[in-house]
Amino acid sequence: MTSARVEQQPLDTGSAAPEEGYRRGLGSRQIQMMAIGGAIGTGLFYGSGEGIATVGPSLVACYAAAGLVIFLIMRALGELLTHRPTSGSFADHAREFCGPFAGFVTGWSYWAAWVASCMAEVTAAGHYIAYWWPAVPVWATAATALVVLLAANLVSVTLFGELEFWFATVKVVAIVAMIVIGVGVLTFGFSSLGHSASVQHLWADGGFAPHGAWTSMAALPGVVFAYLGVELVGLTAGEAENPRKTLRQAINTLPVRIAVFYIGALTVLLSVLSWTRYTPGVSPFVQVFVQVGIPGAAGIMNFVVLTAALSACNSGIYSASRMVRGLALNGEAPKAVAGLSGRHLPLPAVVLSTLVMGAGIAVNVVSPDKAFVYITSVSACAGLWTWAMILVSHLRYRSRVRAGLLPTVGFRMPGAPVTNWIALAALAFVVVLMTTSPDTRPGLYVWAVWFTALTIVYGVAIKRRAQQRS
């Protein structure tokens, strides 16, 4: 069969492997907002304050460069999902194009990434709730939040999607409000910031990169990690009403979301107030809202960040459960985890993932600075591994298309394979930067231990079981 004939074959219009058994309850509106919410988190609302104090206005360039790499990764994922939509997403693609070991490591690493992230996020939610009810123990509010999110994930995928829709809406409204207020200050000069606000702050206060280019690049790991979670829309393929259409729309609008919610927000923040006036560890949004004179600015932002934490945990339960069930369907996790409830939800996988997250609440409360500095670093490294596997899987897919072994699709990654290698080089550069920092270096050590453990488990148990079946 020639390559031309393969390309003319109609693609399967089904959206997921029939054995997955999921019900299609996620509409375009929900997936679009999930895609937006996945790119907005506490890294922007609070973490950007530390970045501004460290590298100044050049943080905008860091987010723009990282955003371009993320877009290339998501376009590669979009082409793979158009080829074969599946709730296992990048783990299934890694298994198909890079071998079963790659799929095993990717699946379990991504599961661990979300479980670890949720342990920290739900505990953070407890601290945010304590802003209003300080007498209630943090562990109690954190556990309550986790139980509520568990219930939402067990009722229906539609309820999960609706919760995520409104969580994302709160975050979007907060950012848009800040941008509108900031533009108003710059244009009309109202509030106490009016006399000093100017776009000249982007270059006049020590230059665009006041501490030098290398210091600015050293901020890239933190910037890249702020984008973690944007890929989770790929896991909705098994439950989206029309995944090929909705996922394509979500991925194609990613540059707009990055331009508005990251580049636009940071540009406004750094224009209305000089970077030298931002305090590390304090939300830059709070500082601007307070300076403008908005009543209850701290309380408003506490609610927004609480929403961001609950959104991350809600998405984490969803993502972790779908990933571990996909592993079970491939014989790489206990068979009991592969079951579905009467509502076509992965009940055992949801419960297992949530129980592990719940156990982490206690650990985080007892030792928040030591244990979780290392366990959450698995999340960061697993994210880099996942993105790299998406790019490598896409390279392998394209090589099979060129060989006439697979049909081409209409939604193609621009500039491939050159753009694949550019994105992979950028991820490798981030890893190099991580080795130079005492804050991120331990994460690489933890990842090495985790990877070694997975390799041993695969060689001892999974590979042997596969050989016995054959």
Domains and CATH numbers, the chain: 29-463 (1.20.1740.10)
CA distances from 309 to 118, 234, 305 (A): 8, 21, 6
- Flag whether pLDDT at 211 surpasses 70: yes
Confidence class for position 360, pLDDT limits 50, 70, 90: confident
Residue 26 main-chain phi, psi, to 5 deg: -105, 115
pLDDT (0 to 100) of residue 461: 76
Closest by Cα among 241, 222, 215, 233 to 63: 222
Any residues with CB less than 8 A from the CB of 391 and at least 6 apart, and which?
A: 72, 73, 76, 420, 423, 424, 427
The string of pLDDT tens digits covering residues 380-418 is 888 899 999 999 999 999 999 999 999 999 899 999 999
- What's the half-sphere exposure (Cβ side, CA atoms, 13 Å) at 208? 8
Most confidently modeled range among 318-327, 355-364, 421-430: 421-430
Per-residue pLDDT, 422: 97
What value does the mean pLDDT take over residues 312-329?
A: 88
* Predicted pLDDT of residue 405: 95
CB neighbourhood size of 277 (10 A): 15
* CA–CA distance, 254 with 122 (Å, rounded to integer): 27
pLDDT at residue 341 above 90? no
For residue 128, which of 283, 304, 290 has the smallest C-alpha distance?
304
pLDDT of residue 8 exceeding 90: no
Amino acid at 31: I
Token pair for residue 48? 């950007």
Mean pLDDT, rounded, of the chain: 84
- C-alpha separations of 249 from 11, 29, 212, 253, 254 in Å: 19, 11, 38, 6, 9
Sequence-separated (6 or more) residues with CB below 8 Å from residue 12: none
Nearest of 231, 229, 225 to residue 247 by alpha carbon: 231
pLDDT at residue 181, as a whole number: 92
Residue 89: which residues within 8 A CB-CB, separation 6 or more?
77, 81, 231, 234, 235, 237
Measured CA to CA in angstroms, residue 263 lies from 15, 33, 48, 64, 270 at distances of 34, 19, 12, 7, 11
